[in-house]
Amino acid sequence: MGDTAKLDLGGKTVELPVLHGTLGPDVVDVRKLYAETDVFTYDPGFTSTASCESKITYIDGDAGVLLHRGYPIDELAENSNFLETCYLLLHGELPKGPEAADFEHTITYHTMLHEQFDRFVQGFRRDAHPMAIMVGAVGALSAFYHDSTNVDDPSQRMISSHRLIAKMPTIAARAFKYSQGQPFVHPRNDLSYAENFLRMCFSVPAEDWKPNPVLTRAMDRIFILHADHEQNASTSTVRLAGSSGANPFACIAAGIACLWGPAHGGANEEALNMLKEIGTVDRIPEYVQGVKDRRYRLMGFGHRVYKNYDPRAKVMQKTCHEVLAEVGNADDPLLKVAMELERIALSDEYFVERKLYPNVDFYSGITLRALGFPAEMFTVLFAVARTVGWIAQWKEMIEDPSQKIGRPRQIYTGEPQRAFTPVHKRG
Ligand code: CMC
């Protein structure tokens, strides 16, 4: 492809610039198309549309590659930690010298919530889904932290970013404790991000709580694996909400709402439910037949972008084995079902033809269950991890001089203009 693309429309030829990223396919710039031709493009689901320019995350779905600021996800999961990954996503480089300790101090400084916030959380019904609490409670942060809602002030943008990364585990742990009828546990700033979160979820005042390094490392790695994924549905929601100038707490609440859906972050809960429903290895063929008959989908399989093995799923599978061995459940029947299902699906023509591979959610449900979380908490954990991606993408958008309010167009297929009919004349 050259530097322009030609489009013939009703005898008129328009030249559209072709843009080149550092990696990935070229992009036809259609921004002037409507002004020059009176024609829109049509792309529901954005399967062929780049909605923004970004320097944060790159995915090559055919090759199964995921890079954050150029670093492969498996190298980050193996060698980095979640807070360092947060710094990388927010600032563009891995922290050097004292930057890592300074960043950790800044985040831990913001882990507590306003005391009145707990009363707000306690206003929810006990049986509320923890994601319902997350959508409401994170949106409510803007009612508690007015001093960091001015999106035009760079220092307020940074403080709200730090606050969100720091407070999400505290809010998520409260959503969990509330559903369990147990007292809220305050954060401890001498612990690591993952350790502090596990303690806020699983410690009770009546007993000592001892961190388990294998489980802490697994939690940290799960956070890294979910930290960002370029312009997925929830991130695009955050960008779209933010494009109007809405405050970051409200934008992240919008992202959480989008994440909740079963086709997105809700898939890990659905994947575990599916494995439970299958129950035993001998029932897999019957279940797979139901997928082929299009009665339901194989949850934790397939991806809009990956048409190869999701690189996060490989790390997740390894983490899953480590956690199950640590908690003494290496013979978990659901793990056996998952492994056999994966084996069958990877060799079955139906899945091979459609390039359906396991995604990150396929093994994360079993792992999170082994860590002690109920299924309703799975998407909440995804939201905790993805907050840094959302906020980094939100900041990038606000700081992009070409940023405009997001406002897609449509093909209108409804009634043409017609005259109003008074009620006594309607047949
Ligand atoms: N099981 C069975 N068939 C499937 C599946 C699946 N999980 N996913 C896609 N297909 C089939 C689909 O029926 C279609 O077949 P055909 O061409 O014969 O009509 C073909 O594959 C293409 O499907 P699509 O719906 O056009 O693909 P999409 O890119 O719009 O969907 C997806 C992506 C993730 C929504 C879909 O694969 C899906 O529903 N997967 C299950 C839910 C899931 O695991 N989601 C988590 C995604 S990873 C974490 C995240 O990003 O949140």
What is the rounded CA–CA span in Å between residue 241 and residue 298?
31
What is the rounded CA–CA span in Å between residue 400 and residue 213?
41
Q: What is the DSSP string of 110-151?
A: T----HHHHHHHTTS-TT--HHHHHHHHHHHHHHH-GGG--T
What is the rounded CA–CA span in Å between residue 349 and residue 246?
47
Atom of ligand 1 minimally distant from the CA of 229: 51
Q: How many helices (H) and strands (E) does the chain have?
A: 18, 6
Catalytically annotated residue among 162, 303, 310, 332: 303
* Closest C-alpha residue for ligand 1 atom 26: 304
- Quote the ligand 1 centre to 265 CA distance (angstroms): 13
Active site residue 264: no
Residue range 226-237, pLDDT digits in tens: 999 999 999 999
- Quote the ligand 1 centre to 305 CA distance (angstroms): 10
Quick one: which of 291, 298, 294, 303 has its CA closest to 273? 298
311 lines ligand 1 (CB under 6 A): no
Q: In what order do the strands lie in the sheet with 57-60?
A: 57-60, 65-68, 71-72
Cite the DSSP H helix spans in 279-360. Answer: 284-292, 311-326, 333-347, 349-353
What is the rounded CA–CA span in Å between residue 58 and residue 47?
16
Contact 167, 110 (CB under 8 A): yes
Task: Among 341, 344, 356, say which to mutate for ligand 1: greatest number of ligand atoms within 8 Å of CB.
Answer: 356
Whole-Å CA distances, 7 to 120, 178, 181: 56, 58, 62
Burial of residue 115, with CB atoms counted within 10 A of its CB: 0-12 exposed, 13-18 middle, 19 or more buried: exposed
Burial of residue 5, with CB atoms counted within 10 A of its CB: 0-12 exposed, 13-18 middle, 19 or more buried: middle
Task: Among 49, 226, 230, 297, say which to mutate for ligand 1: greatest number of ligand atoms within 8 Å of CB.
Answer: 297
Residue range 264-300, pLDDT digits in tens: 888 888 899 999 999 999 999 999 999 999 999 999 9
The mean of the pLDDT values for the chain is 94
Active site residue 228: no
297 lines ligand 1 (CB under 6 A): yes
Task: Kindly give the confidence (pLDDT) of every residue in the chain, 427 residues in length, as a single tens digit, with 9 standing for 90 and above.
Answer: 469 999 999 888 999 999 999 999 999 999 999 999 999 999 999 999 999 999 999 999 999 999 999 999 999 999 999 999 999 999 999 999 999 999 999 999 899 999 999 999 999 999 999 999 999 999 999 999 999 999 999 999 999 999 999 999 999 999 999 999 999 999 999 999 999 999 999 999 999 999 999 999 999 999 999 999 999 999 999 999 999 999 999 999 999 999 999 888 888 888 999 999 999 999 999 999 999 999 999 999 999 888 888 899 989 999 999 999 999 888 888 889 998 999 998 899 999 999 999 888 888 988 999 999 999 999 999 999 999 999 999 999 999 998 999 999 999 999 999 999 999 999 8
Task: Among 57, 256, 301, say which to mutate for ligand 1: greatest number of ligand atoms within 8 Å of CB.
Answer: 301
How many Å is the maximal CA-CA distance in the chain? 79
- Quote the ligand 1 centre to 304 CA distance (angstroms): 7
Residue 2 is predicted with a pLDDT of 62
- Quote the ligand 1 centre to 297 CA distance (angstroms): 7
What is the rounded CA–CA span in Å between residue 244 and residue 258?
18
- Quote the ligand 1 centre to 356 CA distance (angstroms): 8
* Closest C-alpha residue for ligand 1 atom 24: 304
The phi, psi pair for 18, rounded to 5°, reads -110, 125
For the entire predicted model, the pTM comes to: 0.92
